[in-house]
C-alpha cells in the first residue's frame, strides 16, 4: 500500500485508507463506532491483519454496553505492519441473533 492510498484522517492512532472510509460511509459506520471496536473489540489475527470484532460479551461492563444492539457484529480490519485501518464491515452471522427467549431443545415430531 502506498502513501497515496492513505488519507489524512486518523482514528485512535490508525490511519484510515480511502477504501475503509468509503466502506464506513456505505455501511453507516461512524468514527466513534470504529474507536469503540478498536478499544473494546475481540482481537482475531488472520492473514497478517488483525480483526477487532464487537460482541455483546466484549461490551459487557463497559461504558458502551448500552450501545451493544447497535454495535453488535461490527468488524474493523487493521494492518498493524503499516498502521492502517484496511476495511470496516458488519458480520452478518453475528447480526442475525436468535431471540433469547427461544427454547434450544429440538421440537418433538408426532
Structure confidence at residue 2 (pLDDT): 47
The whole-number pLDDT of residue 93 equals: 78
C-alpha cell at 69: 444492539
pLDDT tens by residue, the chain, 110 residues: 444 444 448 888 899 999 999 999 999 999 999 999 999 999 999 889 999 999 989 999 999 999 988 999 999 999 999 999 999 999 987 766 655 555 666 667 76
Amino acid at each position: 500500500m502506498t502513501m497515496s492510498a492513505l488519507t489524512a484522517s486518523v482514528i485512535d492512532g490508525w490511519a484510515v485508507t480511502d477504501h475503509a472510509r468509503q466502506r464506513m460511509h456505505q455501511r453507516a459506520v461512524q468514527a466513534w463506532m470504529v474507536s469503540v471496536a478498536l478499544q473494546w473489540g475481540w482481537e482475531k489475527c488472520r492473514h497478517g491483519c488483525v480483526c477487532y470484532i464487537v460482541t455483546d460479551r466484549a461490551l459487557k461492563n463497559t461504558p458502551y454496553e448500552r450501545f451493544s444492539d447497535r454495535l453488535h457484529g461490527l468488524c474493523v480490519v487493521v494492518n498493524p505492519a503499516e498502521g492502517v485501518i484496511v476495511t470496516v464491515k458488519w458480520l452478518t452471522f453475528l447480526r442475525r441473533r436468535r431471540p433469547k427467549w427461544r427454547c434450544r431443545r429440538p421440537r418433538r415430531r408426532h
